[in-house]
A and B are shown apart, each in its own frame.
Chain A
Amino acid sequence: DAGVTQSPTHLIKTRGQQVTLRCSPKSGHDTVSWYQQALGQGPQFIFQYYEEEERQRGNFPDRFSGHQFPNYSSELNVNALLLGDSALYLCASGTGYKNIQYFGAGTRLSVL
């Protein structure tokens, strides 16, 4: 049984470009959350998707958007990239808000 899978593992972009990160949840999970982890810091919540809708959003600008597909997989899109967007982007999946969120290995985004 595969866990949470994310692609790509590494990505290099330049300022102003757009990027799409992908996440496949653990089998049986229907909720996907995205987090940004800057170097030396704890993860910060970006948003969560359930039933193909954004259910909750953290303190991130509208440049960060997402989507959840009928098979529960999800994409994170970031427009107009800034140097400060360089981070490890983590996807987590789960079932329900009381339950454990399982994390993928992340996508390392470098913005030059």
Chain B
Amino acid sequence: AQSVAQPEDQVNVAEGNPLTVKCTYSVSGNPYLFWYVQYPNRGLQFLLKYITGDNLVKGSYGFEAEFNKSQTSFHLKKPSALVSDSALYFCAVRDGAGNMLTFGGGTRLMVKP
């Protein structure tokens, strides 16, 4: 069975500082990895995905994620945080054969001015 762990319930960062939101995964076969963001009373908005290729994936709104196969991690990063980045972030994994996304529990990002 596939699983995703987001070890931090909340990450606090000052505006302008770099941010990292951590994600580790477990899946059989090659992983398909995703990051989504959820704003209050909204659905999930796609940020970026890793299917194959370069380990550093660039996505929307200046976000990027680093895939590390040996550590089974897919951490979300941004060089300079904005107050508007404050939201709930979800990491998800899908295996190569199945269709379902398995999500982590989410990490709340708080960016303070």
Contacts and interface: CB of A to CB of B under 8 A. Distances in A.
Contacts, number: 58
Given A97-B94, A100-B34, A45 B101 contact: yes
Interface string B43-71: 11110010100000000000000000000
Contacts of A74: none
A42 interface: yes
B45 A48 contact: no
Interface stretch (A11-19, A65-73, A79-87, A102-110): A102-110
Nearest to B98: A56
Interface string B68-109: 000000000000000000000010101000111111111000
Contact of B101 (A41, A55, A101, A105): A101
Nearest to A4: B43
B44 A43 contact: yes
16 contacts: A33-B99, A35-B101, A35-B103, A41-B105, A42-B105, A45-B100, A45-B102, A50-B99, A56-B99, A90-B44, A92-B101, A97-B99, A98-B32, A103-B36, A103-B46, A104-B43
